[in-house]
Amino acid sequence: MADSVLIERPTEGVGLIRINRPEARNALNMEVRKLIAKHLTEMGEDDAIRCIVLTGNDKSFAAGADIKEMAGAGTIEMLARGTHKLWRTIAACPKPVIAAVNGFALGGGCELAMTCDIIVAGESAKFGQPEVKIGIIPGGGGTQRLPRAVGKYKAMRYVLTGDLFSAKEAFDMGLVSELVPDAEVEKRAVEMAKQIAELSPLAIQQAKEAVLRGMDAALDTGLALETKAIQILFSSQDQKEGMAAFIEKRKPKFSGR
């Protein structure tokens, strides 16, 4: 049987993680979630990888948690599975992660995309948090990340009805970073990842951390965090190289030091 999660290196500096359960619309069973967490952790520690693309196939990014795997589970079984720890590991990746979304991003699939930093979606992708239709609620961060991304009233509209929404609507609401023709989703995500991979990994890591931690804090705390982060970067060779290259009118060569 084929691996349920594949890893690739589409171009220098970029790692790609591909969910590969087409027979189940890429539903996130425990194996898939553990593998995504494992690969993100490993890529997060690999100096040769500076940006990561997470994708599915042309029909589905991920159609949610695997309903068949959890239908009979009780509270203690769900507790023992510890999926919240896997979500935390995924969210803790220090490098930028770009979700390349074609087809369905539903339930845990939508939550997985929202755990990424940038979402590139194909025009016919479909998003949604349909959990209420099967008697539960989003459990991978959807009740928190969706309102933070699109505001309370749009989030409530979809979390409380379970209705799906189009990629265009997701884009208009601010959930999708870039909307592209279906056939170009992966290409565009890899291209953007390559662009990020060519920048200073130190600056990129500090920028990601400042945005994410700042979103969780009061404005003043977030601003203080940003100030510290930019000050730290002035100890880096990359800052000296980046500014020297600008002044000397050449392309910078960032070392991550």
- Footprint of ligand CO8 on this chain (CB under 6 A)? 24-25, 27, 63-68, 78, 83, 104, 106-108, 130-131, 134, 139-140
Cβ(28)–Cβ(107) below 8 Å: no
Q: Which residue, 65 or 229, is less far from ligand CO8 as judged by CB? A: 65
From 65, 105, 113, 125, the catalytic residue: 65
Active site (annotated) includes residue 210: no
Positions of E strands within 160-202: 164-166, 178-180
Q: How far is the CB of 124 from ligand CO8 (least distance, A)?
A: 12
The two structure tokens encoding residue 159: 């979390």
Cβ(143)–Cβ(137) below 8 Å: yes
Q: How far is the CB of 79 from ligand CO8 (least distance, A)?
A: 9
Q: Which residue, 111 or 238, is less far from ligand CO8 as judged by CB? A: 111
Active site (annotated) includes residue 224: no
Q: Which residue, 32 or 229, is less far from ligand CO8 as judged by CB? A: 32
From 27, 64, 99, 111, the catalytic residue: 111
From 105, 131, 189, 207, the catalytic residue: 131
* Sheet-wide strand order for 126-128: 60-62, 104-106, 126-128, 164-166
Q: How far is the CB of 3 from ligand CO8 (least distance, A)?
A: 18
From the list 213, 238, 206, 178, the residue with the least C-alpha distance to 53 is 178
Q: How far is the CB of 24 from ligand CO8 (least distance, A)?
A: 4
Active site (annotated) includes residue 125: no
Q: Which residue, 15 or 107, is less far from ligand CO8 as judged by CB? A: 107
Active site (annotated) includes residue 111: yes
Q: Which residues pair with 17 in a beta bridge?
A: 7, 54
Q: At what angle do helices 237-247 and 201-215 cross, to 10 degrees?
A: 110
From the list 28, 33, 42, the residue with the least C-alpha distance to 82 is 33
Residues belonging to the active site:
65, 108, 111, 131
